[in-house]
Chains A and B, each alone.
Chain A
Amino acid sequence: MTAGVAIRQRSYLQGPGRLLLAPAILLLLAASIAPLLVTIKFSLSDYRLLFPDSSGFVGLSNYARLVASPDFVPALVNTLMLIAVVLAASIAGGLGLALLLDGPVIGRGGLRLLVISPFFVMPPVSALLWKNLLMQPVSGFFAWLAALFGLPAYDWFSHAPLLSIALIVAWQWLPFAALILLTSLQSFDRELREAAQLDGASAAAILRHLLLPHLARPIAIVVMIETIFLIGVFAEILVTTGGGTASTDLAFLVYSQAMLQYDIGAASAAGLVAVVFANILAIFLIRAVGRSLEA
């Protein structure tokens, strides 16, 4: 990243440099680091909104209570499942779409507009549309499709709430994956591919030996960035299932502990678990992005 920046400190720029950087740093300190420290403190205190007096240092007991609670392990598993399903679906679908759009198609501009659209839909809108217009078991569009094939209608949110949510979220992120991969495919050397075709390589062999290696880096970046956002999936759960063990992830757990059960201590502990979780993934992102920018 700093490869292009010759570090030249000049006295007449140092003052202004610091001055202009300070507001941004201060806002970020105030909105992220300071509250994070308070969260840590809360997570070690017995703090319940309904009993304002009961705040005192209680060591790790909030964490113990959190881990022992019947909601915690499912929330952790749900978070992981959600991330895994969305990543798999959006990348597989995105790759397919990118390959299709990279082909000799007519009207690529229009196709791009269609494909990118879901990415710009706000989460509560996409969740509600899918839940009601598409997945509703009586007169939803999917029920009609099922009937068309003589299948019984499937009650998505009763039988597979997490999968349903994952599907919706995957639909929102698929365009992102598709566009990144398409951009990367279009930067792939045409001549190299044509040379391989002349050598008699099959389409599958070209995909396997030329395109996939070329796409490794963009795929890694898609994984990292989607993960960051997927750890915080919240609105989709709120407006569809409204929680429940089967579909609560860590973000929603914090919300329900704090806003529904007023247990600040436990909620803070859950929040910090999410932070640690995110940071393990973040380390990889910083590495990948940092390296790519140095190259």
Chain B
Amino acid sequence: MSGIVLEGVTKRFGDHLVTDAIDLVIPDGAFTVFVGPSGCGKTTLLRLIAGLEDIDSGRLLIDGVDAAQTSPAARGLAMVFQSYALYPHMTVRANLGFALKVARRPRAEIAERTEQVAEMLNLTPFLDRRPGALSGGQRQRVAIGRALVREPKAFLFDEPLSNLDAELRAQMRIEIRRLQQQLGITAIYVTHDQAEAMTMADRIVVFRDGRVEQAGSPGEIYRNPASRFVAGFIGSPRMNFLGGAIAAKHGAVTIGVRPEHLAIDPAGTISAAVQAIEYLGSDSFVHLGAQSGETLIARGVPDLDFRSGDTVQLRIAPGAVHRFDADDRAMPAPAPAPGANIFEETV
């Protein structure tokens, strides 16, 4: 079986359990994104896969072979570090060619591969500079190029874009994705930015406190979050949560509604006070305070003929309610009771 398979992978730092019996299959050739809040163990898991840390218990299979005894280099994986970790004393050319050089490849081949990768990443003009004389984005591309040169079995990216500005980040997301698709190489990409996860991933794995909270395609995770945590973490602005009577009417402890499913409509049955309005051009978000105390966000209001302080009525789009139980786990979608319209409620 090819790809990367984790079976009960556990890692402790002292008595702190950083990854807790993680079972995961990283599909071959796909772009898998690990996402989760800071400190949940994403980097650690990536380093475990890379072989830079030891697994305490559990198994890691790479292309069906137990990798426990394999050195980082022999695993055939390439890593792009958050700090880039370029060799500061070498030129871009030498940085790119280092892996081939230590593998004792012929000089002509090294030169050719290096040029080729530099071409791919628009680094040709900078080949003879040192990393210190490059911009952040250029350094980032060198770091990616260094991984590309080796034609690895898989790329491991640890928050590679977190040091770039927003515009460059958006551009690099596309570029990384394009390269990965073009080469068809498996990629694991760590981020704590859910937007990055949504835009790039074939498959998202959401982590929380060293455990896998949910794994699936971006659409699946967005539409059917497995828990209140995932529901709140994925999607921006975050999902609205309502408890109390309205949730009880749905047979749940909490219900969640995404901002785009909350419409301001005089015919709606939830009254809320407008607190602030964000106009983003193509979009707008209305921040609201429900009478029951929750803050809500509604998206894409067509006619904004109200102002802060006004009281408006809200309507939940049919079929858009996510229900959560006392443990914050998602409950299966209810079969609508005949004749009852459960989506029109009063708070």
Residues of A within 8 A of B (CB): 6, 8-12
Contact = CB atoms under 8 A, between A and B. Distances in A.
Interface stretch (B46-54, B107-115, B139-147, B241-249): B46-54
Contacts of B51: 12
Contact residues on B (Cβ < 8 Å of other chain), bracket:
under 10
Contacts of B54: 9-12
Contacts of A6: 13
A8 B54 CA distance: 9
Contact of B72 (A8, A9, A12): A12
B83 interface: no
Nearest to A11: B54
What 10 A-B pairs come out closest when comparing CB atoms? Answer: A11-B54, A12-B71, A10-B54, A10-B53, A12-B51, A12-B72, A8-B53, A10-B52, A9-B54, A8-B13
Interface of B: 13, 51-54, 71-72
Contacts of A11: 54
A10 B54 CA distance: 5
12 contacts: A6-B13, A8-B13, A8-B53, A9-B54, A10-B52, A10-B53, A10-B54, A11-B54, A12-B51, A12-B54, A12-B71, A12-B72
Contacts of B71: 12
A11 to B, nearest CB: 5
Q: Is the interface of A mostly helix, strand, loop or mixed?
A: loop
Nearest to A8: B53
A9 B12 CA distance: 11
A10 to B, nearest CB: 5
B200 to A, nearest CB: 30
A35 B15 CA distance: 43
Given A12-B51, A12-B71, 4 more contacts: A8-B53, A9-B54, A12-B54, A12-B72
Nearest to B72: A12
A261 to B, nearest CB: 57
Nearest to B73: A12
A52 to B, nearest CB: 56
Contacts of B52: 10
Contacts of A8: 13, 53
Contacts of B13: 6, 8
Nearest to A10: B54
A10 B71 CA distance: 11
A11 B54 CA distance: 6
Nearest to B51: A12
Contacts of A12: 51, 54, 71-72
Nearest to A14: B54
A12 B53 CA distance: 9
A76 B233 CA distance: 75
A77 to B, nearest CB: 52
A192 to B, nearest CB: 36
Contacts of A9: 54
A7 to B, nearest CB: 9
Nearest to A9: B54
A12 B51 CA distance: 8
A8 B51 CA distance: 13
A155 B195 CA distance: 87
A17 to B, nearest CB: 13
B26 to A, nearest CB: 21
A23 to B, nearest CB: 23
Nearest to B53: A10
A9 B14 CA distance: 11
A211 to B, nearest CB: 40
A12 B70 CA distance: 8
B27 to A, nearest CB: 27
A6 B52 CA distance: 14
A19 to B, nearest CB: 15
Contacts of B53: 8, 10
A12 B75 CA distance: 13
A252 to B, nearest CB: 49
Nearest to B14: A7
A11 B51 CA distance: 10
A9 B52 CA distance: 10
Nearest to A7: B14
Nearest to B70: A12
Nearest to B71: A12
A143 B52 CA distance: 71
Contacts of B72: 12
A290 B72 CA distance: 35
B102 to A, nearest CB: 16
A8 B123 CA distance: 36
A54 to B, nearest CB: 59
A149 B71 CA distance: 79
A77 B72 CA distance: 61
B57 to A, nearest CB: 13
Nearest to A12: B71
A8 B71 CA distance: 16
Most central of A6, A10, A11, A12 by chain B CB within 10 Å = A12
